[in-house]
Amino acid sequence: MFDKIWDQHVITGKVGDPQLIYVDLQLLHEVTSPQAFEGLRENKRKVRCPDRNFATMDHNVPTVDIFNIKDEISRKQIDTLAKNTKEFGVRLAGMGTEDQGIVHVIGPQLGLTQPAMIIVCGDSHTATHGAFGSIAFGIGTSEVEHVLATQTIWQTKPKTMGIHIHGKLPHGVYAKDIIMGLIAREGVAFGTGYAVEYYGNTIRNMNMEERMTICNMSIEGGAKMGSIQPDQTTFDYVNGRKYAPRQIGKAIEYWRQFTTDDESAFDRIIDFDVNDLAPFVSWGTNPGMSVPVDQPFPSIKTEEDEKAYNYIGLEPGQTAKQIPIGFAFFGSCTNGRLSDLKIAARAIKGHHVAKGVTALVVPGSREVKEQAESLGLDKIFKAAGCDWREPGCSACLGMNPDQVPAGVHCASTSNRNFEGRQGAGARTHLASPAMVAAAAIHGHFIDIRKEAI
């Protein structure tokens, strides 16, 4: 599949050397685009294909009183994006509009993300869009400018890796646990230099939002790109969306050719059986520092391990049950979609968050928020003592007011647990929406396979 898509987009260049490839879609946000637009302005260039670029505001936006942006840098970046998109004729999902949301949520939601595309964005989690059978990857600001000016990008074709995921997920185990378990076993660099494709009966049985969760965290395993072959599930999801092809039958006929015909052709294959997979929780300061909820934290083997334990305030031999949770975050481009909120709401319904726990629920887009409210999910979260917010990246990263206080342990549905990721001194523990809900209720993690939430 990867080779077929790549070869369709090569304009010039030999394999092994950088090749110029055509970009079908560039997604933009307020943080990595200002310098790119300024570069166009300084060089008196136009945007080559305005209709193949789409912008939104997500990283810096407040999730309370959204138009009252107190941080000067955040306000300037948001105002600059509005100015730039208007000047250069690029579509923008502006603050408070119906299409606004996290860039990797609204792309699929609006039907902008489609199979067989090359998709780029100045954000590492662009791999999310690979769930649709596309080649999607994050790029730097200078590359954002290059795509704006030419609708092309220079890239060296990577090797390919197939990850065979098979088996039936046990009760209480989710897509987030698959990708966390894979990274915990294989390490944070196993995908370096590879374009990863996930396949197998587990993947085939997933809905699109679960597939997006898997592809989203490919970057945490070192891979720049993560993808899944398009199938009827993909086609049904795209059909009827705002920017989906009007002649959907012809589009699907074209998309069907992008399959992997011979799985043995991958440069490397990894096998991952989920039949006995457990819920995972991160204990350290990178996603590979994760363990099954019922297993003790590992011994110190490296300086990095020692540094992680010192920062996170835990010790080898402890378990996830001993992490004192003071903050819970539901959201992000990993787990901020409607199905994720449904999972969390189902777990938290009829309960209340533990004393001393602050819980934020942040939908990934305005559409997700409205859909959740139509189902009454907001009422469930509010009754449980959670704070129901406006859409945005929120506490996934410390670039807006939603930050975890220093020294506080946060159970988070997001994708990264680096030092300071959720705020200076914040201690992040990654887990699935159901696990985060249980941690919020109890004030510590539990094994949701065996214990009543």
User: Distance (Å, rounded) from C-alpha 2 to C-alpha 8?
Assistant: 10
| Cβ neighbours of residue 310 closer than 8 Å, sequence gap 6 or more | none
Per the CB < 8 A criterion, the answer to whether 105 and 235 are in contact is no
* pLDDT attached to residue 452: 84
Which segments within 233-382 are labelled E, that is strand?
268-273, 280-282, 290-292, 325-330, 358-361
pLDDT tens for each residue of 36-78: 999 999 999 999 999 999 999 999 999 999 999 999 999 999 9
| Cβ neighbours of residue 376 closer than 8 Å, sequence gap 6 or more | none
Which domains, ranges and CATH numbers included, belong to the chain? 2-270 (3.30.499.10), 282-442 (3.30.499.10)
User: Distance (Å, rounded) from C-alpha 389 to C-alpha 451?
Assistant: 29
Average pLDDT over residues 399-428: 98
User: Distance (Å, rounded) from C-alpha 216 to C-alpha 129?
Assistant: 8
Residue 97 has pLDDT above 90, yes or no: yes
Tokens for 408, please give them. Answer: 């506080």
pLDDT tens for each residue of 169-194: 999 999 999 999 999 999 999 999 99
pLDDT tens for each residue of 342-363: 999 999 999 999 999 999 999 9
Rg (CA), the chain: 21
User: Distance (Å, rounded) from C-alpha 152 to C-alpha 46?
Assistant: 14
**Residue 152 β-bridge partners:** 22
User: What pLDDT band is residue 252 in, cutting at 50, 70 and 90?
Assistant: very high
Per the CB < 8 A criterion, the answer to whether 296 and 281 are in contact is no
* pLDDT attached to residue 211: 98
Handedness of CA 402, 403, 404, 410 (dihedral sign): positive
Neighbours of 26 (CB within 10 A): 27
Tokens for 351, please give them. Answer: 């309960």
Average pLDDT over residues 85-114: 98
pLDDT tens for each residue of 208-226: 999 999 999 999 999 999 9
Average pLDDT over residues 134-153: 98
Neighbours of 414 (CB within 10 A): 26
User: Distance (Å, rounded) from C-alpha 348 to C-alpha 208?
Assistant: 24
Query: SS3 of 398, please?
Result: coil
* pLDDT attached to residue 28: 98
User: Distance (Å, rounded) from C-alpha 347 to C-alpha 341?
Assistant: 10
| Cβ neighbours of residue 350 closer than 8 Å, sequence gap 6 or more | none
Per the CB < 8 A criterion, the answer to whether 149 and 48 are in contact is yes
**H-helix or E-strand spanning residue 347:** helix 338-348
92 φ/ψ angles, rounded to the nearest 5 degrees: -135, 130
CA 343-345-346 angle, to 5 degrees, is 65
Average pLDDT over residues 87-105: 97
User: Distance (Å, rounded) from C-alpha 328 to C-alpha 361?
Assistant: 8
Q: Which residue has the tokens 């159901």?
A: 434
Residue 453 has pLDDT above 90, yes or no: no
User: Distance (Å, rounded) from C-alpha 117 to C-alpha 106?
Assistant: 16
* pLDDT attached to residue 255: 98
Neighbours of 325 (CB within 10 A): 28
Per the CB < 8 A criterion, the answer to whether 65 and 17 are in contact is no
pLDDT tens for each residue of 318-344: 999 999 999 999 999 999 999 999 999
The pTM assigned to this predicted structure is 0.97
Instruction: Specify the amino acid at residue 278.
Output: A
Q: What percent of the chain has pLDDT over 90?
A: 100
Residue 13 has pLDDT above 90, yes or no: yes
Q: Which residue has the tokens 């590992």?
A: 298
Query: SS3 of 356, please?
Result: coil
Residue 301 has pLDDT above 90, yes or no: yes
User: Distance (Å, rounded) from C-alpha 167 to C-alpha 177?
Assistant: 14
**Residue 282 β-bridge partners:** 290
Q: Which residue has the tokens 């679960």?
A: 210
User: Distance (Å, rounded) from C-alpha 4 to C-alpha 43?
Assistant: 35
Q: Which of 345, 413, 355 shows the shortest CA–CA distance to 378? A: 345
DSSP state of 331: -
* pLDDT attached to residue 291: 98
DSSP letter for each residue of 250-284? HHHHHHTT---S-GGGSSEEEEEE-TT---EEE-S
**Residue 181 β-bridge partners:** none
Q: What is the mean pLDDT of the chain?
A: 98
**Residue 93 β-bridge partners:** 56
Instruction: Specify the amino acid at residue 188.
Output: V
Q: What percent of the chain has pLDDT over 70?
A: 100
